[in-house]
Structure 1
Amino acid sequence: MTRILHILDHSLPLHSGYCFRTRAIMKAQIASGLQVAGVTGVRQDQHGYEAQALLEQADGLDFFRTLTNVQGPSPVREWREISVFADRIAEVVREWRPDVLHAHSPVLNGLAALRVAQKAGLPLLYEIRAFWEDAAVGNGTGREGSPRYWLTRQLENHVVNAADAVAVICEGLKTDLVARGVAKEKITVSPNGVDMSLFGKPSVPDEALRRELGIAGKSVLGFIGSFYDYEGLDDLISAMPMLQSHCSESHLLLVGGGPMEEKLKAQVEASPAASAITFTGRVPHEEVERYYSLMDIMVYPRKSMRLTELVTPLKPLEAMAQGRIVAASDIGGHRELIEDGVTGTLFPAGSPKKIAEKLAELLKNPAIWNQTVENAREFVSKNRNWSSNILRYDPVYQRLIAHKSYERAA
């Protein structure tokens, strides 16, 4: 039985889009007959979960841990992380004996995995979920064009060129790599997906929660996620007074938290539509579905930048699978998922006025919602279902294993 070792920044029991994609991949691969395990680096602790043992189980999945604590100033710390992680991956390879190393971004994981793959003679598939340098710009910890940005890009190019195969989560990332000179044939697109067994049935509205939040009788616009600047929530808040003038029953429900939380709350306090906007704070993952059930339209007003133009998010897919109407900015990452007027609604990025106009149009035409919801769920089921998405990896794995076997025989 083929064994795949996933090399990860962090994993369950932490909750993040990164962790949920990993969980979906691993669960679907086990169901398809593969043996899989993950190994996480030293950043597992930095994300808020301190591992207790060298091998742990989470949601029925096996994760090998790296328990070493790494200190030092940047970039010395990062190089130490790579070395420590490479040593741990090598230990797991000797113990678990995988057939393929499947490393997932960021690039530090790719560099550690590459060291081990070359020494052990194992094939390496490197998967990019976002370019790390662009993600740093998006969350406010980096600056485009800086020396750190340039260096990270060069390291990414090195891993991409040295890996046996590359996977990306969307066409935007593939197009960017091809423009850098990477052969199309080396790249497999494995898009973000949804486990329809988890999201396949629309949730029944939680009336008790509706009363608790004071939104009975309201048309609820919702956002569930992290409050980063690139999410464009400030534009959505700016749109609310204009939307209220068209649809007085509209109400915005913001679920989550993050770096922009205090700034957004201050913006709401100063807004004439303050009474029509509610922050819930972060909610436990198992409670999220209760909030989804109250939202008539899920809104994703992301700003236009390299990160959002190139990378497709997971949240709109989950909302579409939940049977929610989706409205989003017309950035590249959204256009890969949403066909305007067919599976959802697109509005110009960065324009509160256009956001208000599009949302008002949606709220005044509920007769079109059922068909839009049906179209969106059909799209997700056919094109973004994990049970079919993971099949894209299989021919890559088998080709890499066969090639390495040939090299050893020669």
Structure 2
Amino acid sequence: MRILHLLASPFFSGPAENVALLAQAQREAGHEVTVAVDRRRKDVPAEEPAVPRFRELGLLDEGGLELSVKSPPWKMWSDLRQLSKREVDVVHSHFSHDHLLARWGRPRGAVLVRSLHAPRSLRASLPAADAYTVPASALLPGLRDRGRTAEVLPALVDPRFHPAKDRHALRRELGLTGQPVLGMVSTFQPSRRHEVGVSAFALYRKQRPEARLVLVGDGALLEATRRQVKELGLGGAVTFTGYQQGEAFVRWLQALDEVWLLGLGNDWSARAAAQARACGVRVVAVEEGALPDLADARVNTPTPEAVVAAALSEQRAPIAHPTNARIASDVLSLYERARRTR
């Protein structure tokens, strides 16, 4: 099967990593797979650029698509014409720009599948496609009730995420002391609720005074969070790692006993929760997106008291997350069903 993924983003963040892992797994299953990304926006200093990563993985599409929301109308028209001439069996679009382009420039005979990565994309004006994926089961009724073919596309996990061989040695290397070691791994923005997490940690320390909190990431609210930590007298018990990626991010995650995921951003597949579970890290999470399906302990309301109660509950959920190969197989089956019902 010839599969073209459309990802109108210049960043290797948000859904991009999930798309890359899905494309890799589809290729390993014997299919011809490429990923077209935004080729117009080259200056992306704040985040990792997508083009080098997809090229390194051997997945970058070189079919001439600019695929950018910043393209002028004549370039979008050129993309539409180029796409219509492609010889592919499946066009799998991931953002609204991709979907509109594929809706009107669909190659002859190709199946069109749209992945929705956040609930804001699920709206009445959603363009037609042969099938859809959503990041969480709670979003399925919104499509199936309209008679549309849809399945959940779970978070895929890079094989690098696995339990540390010696967690205590790893903590020594990272300069971490205290027990247990808790963490939050996300961009410092309002939706991730770092303020709630830090307040919860202050309460948690009253029960577990040797505990340490590791905050991985950067973002607009980083300095505000530093001030909150200082004001609560937690400076000696909180570690700010800054932005981490690749093997460095894996190591920080492997060092944790428990991760608190108190909100989601652009990707509701809750990839961080799946990565944490793959590393043997307990997951305490709010009920957003796919987090309820991956959490060991759920936070019913995002308050410091509720976070502490969930953290101290010591609940463990017997969740077996599907392998990347299984997820790819399920998506390929979705393509086949969509083809038969066109």
TM class by smaller structure = 0.7 to 0.9
Match of 1:116 among 97, 105, 120: 105
Q: Answer yes or no: is the 8 Å Cα contact 1:302–1:349 preserved in 2.
A: no
Which residues in structure 2 correspond to 1:15-54 (within 5 Å)? 15-42=12-39, 45=42, 47-48=44-45
* Structure 2 counterpart of 1:358, from 292, 296, 310: 310
State the AA in 1 paired with 2:97: L
Partner of 1:130: 118
> Partner residue of 1:314?
271
Q: Distance in 1 between matches of 2:289 and 2:250?
A: 27
Q: Residues of 1 paired with 2:92 and 2:9: CA distance?
A: 14
TM-score (norm 2): 0.85
C-alpha distance 60-165 of structure 1, shift in aligned 2 (>3 A)? same
Deviation at 1:42, TM superposition (A): 4.9
Return closer, same or farther for 1:61/1:191 CA change in 2, 3 Å cut-off: same
> Which residue of structure 1 aligns with residue 59 of structure 2?
61
Residue 298 of structure 2 corresponds to 346
- 8 Å CA contact 2:89–2:111 kept in 1: the answer is yes
Q: Summarize the Cα distance change of 1:390–1:67 in structure 2 as closer, same or farther, 3 Å threshold.
A: closer
TM superposition shift of 1:207 = 5.5
2:8–2:37 Cα contact (<8 Å) kept: yes
C-alpha distance in 2 between matches for 1:281 and 1:82: 39
CA spacing shift, 1:174–1:46, aligned 2, 3 Å: farther
Q: Which amino acid aligns with 2:154?
A: P
Q: Distance in 2 between matches of 1:63 and 1:266?
A: 45
Is 1:389 the equivalent of 2:327?
yes
- 1:8–1:104 Cα contact (<8 Å) kept: yes
Using the alignment, how far apart are the partners of 1:399 and 1:66 within structure 2?
30
Which 4+ stretches in 1 moved above 6 angstroms?
Answer: 49-53
Number of equivalenced pairs: 339
Report the RMSD for the aligned CA atoms in angstroms: 3.2
Amino acid at match of 2:146: V
Per-residue CA deviations over 1:104-138 (Å, capped at 9, x if unaligned) read 12x11111111111x7453211111114469xxxx
Structure 1 position 361, deviation (Å): 4.3
- Distance (whole Å) between structure 2 residues aligned to residue 299 and residue 288 of structure 1: 16
Structure 2 CA distance, aligned partners of 1:175 and 1:81?
Answer: 36
The CA deviation string for residues 250-277 of structure 1, in whole angstroms up to 9 with x for no partner, is 1100011122212212221211223211
- Letter of the 2:243 partner, please give it: R
Deviation at 1:331, TM superposition (A): 3.8
**Distance in structure 1 (CA, Å) of the matches to 2:75 and 2:121:** 22
What letter matches 1:215 in structure 2? L
Which runs of 5 or more structure 1 residues have no equivalent in the other structure? 71-76, 135-152, 339-343, 363-367, 405-410
Amino acid paired to 1:254: L
Which whole-Å CA distance do the structure 2 matches of 1:120 and 1:62 have between them? Answer: 22
Structure 2 matches for 1:74-223, cutoff 5 A? 80=71, 84-85=75-76, 87-88=78-79, 90-91=81-82, 94=85, 97-105=87-95, 107-117=96-106, 120-132=108-120, 153=123, 157-159=125-127, 162-178=128-144, 182-184=146-148, 186-195=149-158, 197-199=159-161, 201-205=162-166, 210-211=171-172, 214-223=175-184
Please report how far the alpha carbon of residue 88 of structure 1 lies from its aligned counterpart in structure 2 after TM superposition.
2.8
Secondary structure (helix, strand or coil) at the match of 1:287 reads: helix
> Given that residues 235 and 351 in structure 1 are in contact (C-alpha distance below 8 angstroms), is that contact kept between their aligned partners in structure 2?
yes
Tell me, in whole angstroms, the C-alpha distance in 1 between the residues paired with 2:293 and 2:185. 20
Query: Closer, same or farther in 2 for the Cα pair 1:359/1:69, shift >3 Å?
Result: closer
Verify: 1:239 aligned to 2:229, yes or no: no
* Structure 1 residue 291, shift from structure 2 partner: 0.9
Counterpart in the other structure of 1:287 = 248
On the 8 A contact 2:184/2:261 being kept in 1, the answer is yes
Q: CA deviation at 1:336?
A: 2.7
Name which one, 1 or 2, has greater alpha-carbon Rg: 1
1:263 maps to which of 206, 221, 224: 224
Shift of the 360–68 alpha-carbon distance from structure 1 to 2, 3 Å rule, reads: closer
CA–CA distance in 2 between the matches of 1:51 and 1:203? 28
Report what 1:149 is aligned to. Answer: none
Deviation at 1:248, TM superposition (A): 0.5
How far residue 351 of structure 1 moved from its aligned partner, in angstroms, is 1.1
Partner residue, 1:9: 8
Q: 2: distance between equivalents of 1:19 and 1:8? A: 7
- Asked if structure 2 preserves the Cα contact closer than 8 Å seen for 1:330 and 1:347, the reply is yes
Query: Percent identity, aligned pairs only?
Result: 24
- When residues 101 and 81 of structure 1 are mapped into structure 2, their CA distance, relative to the original with a 3 A threshold, is farther
Q: Give yes or no for contact 1:9–1:44 (8 Å, CA) kept in 2.
A: no
- Taking the aligned partners of 2:66 and 2:29, their CA distance within structure 1 comes to 34
Separation (CA, whole Å) in 2 of partners of 1:52 and 1:312: 23
